[in-house]
Amino acid sequence: MEELPTFTTVDRRSSPYRTVIERVEDYREVTVPREDGITEEQASRCVRCGVPFCHWKCPLGNYMPDINHHLRQGEWEKAFLTLQATHNFPEFTGRLCPALCESACVLGIYYDPITVRENELAIVERAFEAGFVKPRPPAKRTVKSVAVVGSGPSGLACADQLNKAGHRVVVFERDLRPGGILRYGIPDFKLEKRVIDRRLNILKAEGIEFLTNVNVGVNYPAARLLKEFNVVCLTTGFRVPRDLAIEGRSLEGIHFAMEYLGQSNRRIAGEQIPPDDLIDARGKRVVVIGGGDTGADCVGTAHRQGAASVVQIELLPQPPKSRGPNDHWPEYPNLLKTSTSHEEGGQRQWSVQTKRFLGKTEHLTGLSCARLQWSQPDPKSRPVMREIPESGFELKSDLVLLALGFIAGEPKGLIKELGLTLDAQGRVATDQRYQTPREGIFAAGDLHRGQSLVVWAISEGRRAAHYIDKYLMGQSELPLI
């Protein structure tokens, strides 16, 4: 009798979470690691497609079918080496990536897709435990030097690749510690900072230098940077948040999401925040404006700070729970996402427009809102919104967090001092080789691509490193992704 394919007999099994009542009392990661045997069983569901769309959809080009094959055979070191060939930091994406690859999994057409993201996280964590991950400084050094400005995922990936090529690499970071958005934007309950420090220790041991509390273009002249290094790569991200310029915006109690999340992470790390600058949700009625991942991170943080209530509102309509007629596989679908933060409590409301902020004696007391109706005349046109007549309502609030995304890199400071400009989308203009109009200055990550995902940031850093190495040496053996 012919044996049935594993995906027909083994259901998709994701990693469990700690109970809500336990996890809201601390900032430790909410996910409980799976046992190795479960990961091997999940990997066995992979059918090793002739055309692996998962590989095609991944910005890093990870070899998912080969990785899953090694896992199902119990060959963890081979799985790690295959993963490492295309990916610098799977411990980051394994916790944070929305898994574009899984949306493109062929099984996903009729079955549940492979748990690719969780498989990769299991691999890298096993690799650290088994000692597979260890410092490997380059055997030979060149005489070239590169300054990477910004230590987020793109900057770290770029620095890692260029260091592997033998160049001297110095990473500049304006904050107290390296990590960029990983450290000062992602809550600890999604990414504990020990994970970042563990990787930084490897990078330092391999020869990468980190200069922190150095704001290039402010307390470190850009001219000095250009004089001391052969190449500069800018990976400073998209730091200008989208605002909501409506009546009452100047009231006390309205803050940008990243200001709130970054401060929370600093507090957890033991940094002292001046009392006048403190943003704390304890005992407050919190409203988060913006329905994306950053908004969800604010929801989870507010729960842990002891908010009296939490409401998250979104301008757009509620997404469907399954693919619609125009939401074609293997593209990433626009589906309703319920994060661990949402499972912890609070309300979510869609198709809500904030009309004005309400206040008393300069302090926020609430929001005046209206319900919206969305329509799409035909599949080729953009959805149209209109306010539903007499749908106005108020939300009481002591703390509003604006999680509306980002619109540009910071135009002042370094960008201005280098004589660079931002395009209409807020990005630094580059050619196809990631080089700006100014000789020897490159850009990567969100500053080059626009607001995007951690996995794209790492891919951007790797691509930029290839072109920088080629610029310095005439050719490059670094992979393009």
Is the pLDDT at 5 greater than 80? The verdict is: no
Task: Cite the DSSP H helix spans in 181-256.
Answer: 181-184, 193-205, 222-228
Q: Is the pLDDT score of 111 beyond 70?
A: yes
| Whether residue 62 is found in the same domain as residue 91 | yes
Query: Could you report the per-residue pLDDT of 124-165, keeping only the tens digit for each?
Result: 999 999 999 999 999 999 999 999 999 999 999 999 999 999
pTM reported for the whole predicted model? 0.96
Tell me, yes or no, whether 104 and 234 share the same domain: no
Share of the chain above pLDDT 90, in %: 90
My answer on whether 261 and 381 are in the same domain is: yes
- The mean pLDDT of 89-98, rounded to a whole number, is 97
Task: Please check whether residue 58 lies inside any domain of the structure.
Answer: yes
Task: Identify the CA nearest to 32 among candidates 275, 321, 340, 335.
Answer: 340
Q: Which of 71-75, 82-86, 88-92, 375-379 has the lowest mean pLDDT?
A: 375-379
138 located within any domain: no
Identify the band that residue 1 occupies on the pLDDT scale cut at 50, 70 and 90.
Answer: very low
Do residues 53 and 107 both lie within one domain? yes
What is the structure's pLDDT at 2?
A: 54
- Name the nearest CA neighbour of 289 among 341, 340, 243: 243
Range of the domain at 154: 145-239+407-473
Residue 225 lies in a domain: yes
* Residue that finishes a domain, picked among 369, 386, 404: 404
Q: Indicate whether 344 and 446 sit together in one domain.
A: no
Q: Is there a single domain that holds both residue 273 and residue 395?
A: yes
Q: What is the mean pLDDT of residues 116-123?
A: 97
CATH code at position 313:
3.50.50.60
The domain boundary residue, chosen from 383, 404, 425: 404
- Of 388, 404, 420, the residue that ends a domain is 404
- Based on the fold, state whether residues 251 and 390 are members of the same structural domain: yes
Asked if the structure places residue 140 within a domain, the reply is no
Residue pair 82/66 in contact (Cβ under 8 Å)? The answer is yes
- Residues 369 and 352 sit within 8 Å (Cβ to Cβ): yes
Residues 6+ apart with CB under 8 A from 63: 55, 82, 83, 85, 86
453 and 442 in contact (C-beta within 8 Å)?
A: no
Q: Under a CB-based contact definition with an 8 Å cutoff, are residues 44 and 115 in contact?
A: no
Please indicate, yes or no, if residue 452 is contained in any of the structural domains: yes
